[in-house]
Structure 1
Amino acid sequence: MTTLILIGGKSQRMGRDKATIERPDGVRQIDWLARLAQLIGGEVFLSMRDDSAPPIDLPVVADQVAGGGPLAALAAIHAKKPDSPVLVISCDLFLLDETTLAHLFAHRDPTRHATCFANRIDGRAEPLCTIYEVSGISKAAEALGRGDHCARHFLEALNPLVLALPHAEALDNANTPQELAECFAKLQHGVTTKVVHVLYFAKLRESRGLDEERVETIACTPAGLYEELRFLHRLPLEIGSLRAARNGDFCEWDELISDGDEIVFIPPVAGG
């Protein structure tokens, strides 16, 4: 088995290199992922989009198709290791743990093109913590040639074995500082299910089609809650354009929420 850690993203929304972010325990994210990969055994590679210096002493596989995203990484590692199945791990999975990877390997079906997990919110296949068998990953270059750069569409077309996550939060990713704060809150305070009362205003109310609802969530912060709702309901506004309030008072996005809280997401005033 070969492991490929994807660190080729530009991290524009995060504003810094996600691979070198220190986790709450002081370990850099790339070191944490490399440690998990080495527990599995086999060779570990980094996927990078250019020839810049890697953040850790591991061999690098550079993308062969500029702008091809994860599929370019799949095609590149297959060209280098054509006879090996590949575990692909995205660098922004701050909650990935040994238990989750062990579950993936224990239930792997080598007769399928791929084995992966279902997204905890929409149930669709998650491409960036997946074992791609040779029969599956060999199709990546063909997909790129057709101009299909969507990793999820590619994985779903392989008809993979899709598993339920042993830890629901394990594949929650972090692309923004607010999402990172949510991941760190889960690491530091644990994950519990809570029910909160959510109020919508203006454009969010129009998009959601209702004024308020009770929501069951494992989010620790207003940011985590909003990203869950935005993903599930395709809400149109990015978190950066909103303010949040908790129990009648404006709050920071990384403030901890509790069972029974009232949370309000406040869009900008039209014309303001």
Structure 2
Amino acid sequence: MKILILAGGKSKRMGRDKALIERPDGTRQLDHIIALAQSISGDILVSTNSPEIVPSGIPVLPDLNPGDGPLGALASFHQAYPAEAVLLIGCDLFLLDKATIEQLINAHSPDQSATCFKSRIDARPEPLCAIYESSALTKASSSLASNEYCARHFLEALHPKSLDLPTPAALDNANTPADLEEAFAKITEGVSNKSVKVLYFAKLREERGLDEEQVETLACTAAGLYDELSFRHRLSLKLDSLRCARNGDFCEWNTRLQPNDEIVFIPPVAGG
């Protein structure tokens, strides 16, 4: 089984290549993920059409389906290695650790199409740290031919073996600058569970179906908390359309949360 690192995304929401982002210790994210993979196996590849970003000596797998996302990378891998299974790892997993990868490999079931973790937010399969058998990879090209590009839907259709995460925040990814600040806060300040009170108004109250609730969260920042809630409850409003208040005072999105805080997310005024 090979390890395939995805480093070919356009990172439009981040505004820069996530593979090249410097972590708090000064290491490029791509180099960090490569070192993590190498601590598990020497048989790794990087999926990218920008080979110049990959350290010397690391094999590169060109994406034969540019713009098709993770499924395009899986299809390219299967074309190059039709008999092999693959452990797919997204380059934007800033909190991924060795223990999480090792648990996935140890629990790997070759007799099932895929082995993965369940999301800590909604318990659905996580496609970007998962093992795909060669029998499953044959279906990637057919999904693309049917204009089906969602990696999570693809993985769900495989009826994978799904595991609980040993480190709850290990697969939190970062797609925006606010996500990145949240990830770096978790890296530098640690991850701890806390209980906060959340108040909803206007459209958010309509979508959530309640005025307030007590929430258990691993988020370090107000933005991280909204991201968790938005993902879990499919809230439609984007972060940049909202304001936030903590304990009665307006606050910045990078404000650090404390246990028992009261957090209010304030939608725009209708017609304003």
Deviates more, 1:29-38 or 1:52-61: 52-61
After TM superposition, give the deviation of residue 150 of structure 1 in Å. Answer: 1.1
Please tell me whether residue 13 in structure 1 is matched to residue 31 in structure 2.
no
**Is the Cα–Cα contact under 8 Å of residues 222 and 244 in structure 1 kept in the other structure?**
yes
1:68-217 paired onto structure 2 within 5 Å: 68-217=68-217
SS of 1:184's equivalent in the other structure is: helix
5+ residue gaps, structure 2, are: none
**Alignment RMSD:** 1.3
C-alpha distance in 2, partners of 1:138/1:196?
46
- The Cα offsets for residues 1-53 of structure 1, whole Å up to 9 and x where unpaired, read as 211111111111111110011111111110110011111214221112x4563
After TM superposition, give the deviation of residue 208 of structure 1 in Å. Answer: 1.1
Please tell me whether residue 249 in structure 1 is matched to residue 252 in structure 2.
no
Change (3 A) 1:15 1:51: closer
SS of 1:116's equivalent in the other structure is: strand
After TM superposition, give the deviation of residue 109 of structure 1 in Å. Answer: 0.7
**Is the Cα–Cα contact under 8 Å of residues 71 and 144 in structure 1 kept in the other structure?**
yes
Change (3 A) 1:162 1:261: same
C-alpha distance in 1, partners of 2:47/2:114?
19
5+ residue gaps, structure 1, are: none
C-alpha distance in 2, partners of 1:157/1:12?
28
- State the identity %: 59
**Is the Cα–Cα contact under 8 Å of residues 115 and 162 in structure 1 kept in the other structure?**
yes
After TM superposition, give the deviation of residue 123 of structure 1 in Å. Answer: 0.6
C-alpha distance in 1, partners of 2:170/2:108?
18
After TM superposition, give the deviation of residue 100 of structure 1 in Å. Answer: 0.4
Normalised TM-score (structure 2): 0.96
C-alpha distance in 2, partners of 1:192/1:67?
37
Q: Amino acid of the residue matched to residue 31 of structure 2?
A: D
After TM superposition, give the deviation of residue 193 of structure 1 in Å. Answer: 1.1
**Is the Cα–Cα contact under 8 Å of residues 8 and 50 in structure 2 kept in the other structure?**
no
